[in-house]
A and B are shown apart, each in its own frame.
Chain A
């Protein structure tokens, strides 16, 4: 393996993790965009998505359906379930606090995160669960770089979801309403926009994206645990800040950059220093550009 081949391979590895971070980061950034809340329970939504997908895999796995159908069923079930939970959390925990000082929903979000994490532990158990991967173990070698079907699936599905989200936000009436709500919630309400419904839809979309993140994470790494949401959620939140919180393309780029930093850090420096490396770069970027890579939106609000 030549140094160039190794570099390209590590690039591919980093992009896979980065794509998953990006999907989860979108939920943080969308919610922050509309109601300026860091939804700390979002990492748990991601784990819920993974467990929902696992349930489907275990239920349908033995029935002889093709892996394509199986994955589609997983995706639909996980997205639907997480969207419902996301909306329910917003309705129960955040909406009653709309208009309260910003610290209150923030603390509620942390409480929600603890609640969900323990609920997941009680339902699914405290031990690591194996996540069977129905995908055939296909791999392609091009120029000494190995790409697996799993990696292609992660890239293609996350790219498609990101393009779809961008289209939804920029080119539809719903997207326009979401952007308007993000700019000025009170004015939108005065103009007769159903702001509560728009916020609920934002939670639903963000949670559904995290669910796909959970599905891809489970498939890629093969195990899932109730406390996985903490670390992955923290990383995805970091990615959202790195890209500029509140900015949708920023979250995508932030996720990819963080994944690449970790991959290259582990591959070239040392695995035990990869988080340090990733976070040092994060601090440097934020020192030079406090609003994140694409963070004009925050400045505009301030």
Chain B
């Protein structure tokens, strides 16, 4: 079963992290590397990506002539997707365990940051006509 684990961060998160100490940043990065390494070695990692600062993000819609019309990110969005993992695991419980570990990544003071991780199942299950 595949799940996507989406790590949300507040709009100010990217700026806040820019003010962390060198050690806090290094510890945070090392934590994420270790997590990805463990997932890869467990044969559970299908994909993982971090996303660039939301300041660079735009919203795109199609215009009248079919050309893209871009717009800035709406100020009312308080949270942004900072990165995601897609894991291929035996159970939902296991996906939750991985999410909890990701949530415990260290913050500025070295303590768990308790980042909210949204867990959603990826629609890759077999249709069940055959399952009797």
Do A and B assemble together?
A: no
